[in-house]
Chains A and B, each alone.
Chain A
């Protein structure tokens, strides 16, 4: 089990996390249905505008699902940043993980570790967190 993702998208997510600091950033990556290839990055507004919480605005969320449907895509990755803590799913992240088929990517902007080393991906299904390998392609 792994997440395959391009360097370009990884870099864009890390940059977004730095730009939106001190708030958590968030977004999704879409890919063709059934492909498990996250190809299209969709940064989202964090409607909570908080350093400790994120939420996709409900209207934006519906628009994202409609857009994915229109393009025969699905939401393959849901990502967000932790501003001062480890890039690991928090209890809140686990409680609200509502997309069982998605890869949950966490990045961290905490200062003592360079952001590049904190891009991790997890499956969160039925309250269980399983970390997976991240395979970065060119």
Chain B
């Protein structure tokens, strides 16, 4: 199983500057665990207390995972995941 994960600039220090990496998992939660096992510390940037962080956007095949069940979003071989920090402020 191979899933492409596109990494935003701000998180590339965790992936040795790679802008796309591969991961495995049947749902988003597993993919994040898998990413964290490959790139230590990345998980904590995406999750807080076991939930997806509010101001990180994650898309599976260009669909916002908030509409796909969040951490339960199903992922399959060949899917593409994109991570984008929110553009927000006060």
Binding site for B on A (CB under 8 A): 24, 26, 28, 44, 48, 52-56, 58-59, 61-62, 65-66, 78, 80, 89-93, 96-101
A90: which B residues are within 8 A, CB to CB?
89-90
List 26 A-B residue pairs with CB atoms under 8 Å apart, sorted by A's residue number: A26-B87, A48-B88, A52-B90, A53-B89, A54-B89, A55-B88, A56-B86, A56-B88, A58-B57, A58-B59, A58-B86, A61-B57, A61-B87, A62-B84, A65-B82, A65-B84, A91-B90, A92-B88, A92-B90, A93-B90, A96-B88, A96-B89, A98-B55, A98-B85, A99-B87, A100-B10
Task: Please provide the 3 A-B residue pairs with the shortest distance between their CB atoms, ordered closest to farther.
Answer: A98-B85, A92-B90, A93-B89
Report the bound CA distance from A82 to B57 in whole Å.
24
B10 touches A53 (CB 8 A): no
Interface size class on chain B is: 10 to 19
A55: which B residues are within 8 A, CB to CB?
86-88
Binding site for A on B (CB under 8 A): 8-10, 55, 57, 59, 62, 64, 66, 82, 84-90
CB distance from B65 to the nearest CB of A (A): 10
Question: Which one of A24, A26, A59 has the greatest number of beta carbons of chain B within 10 Å?
Answer: A59
A53 touches B84 (CB 8 A): no
Which chain B residue lies CB-closest to A93? B89
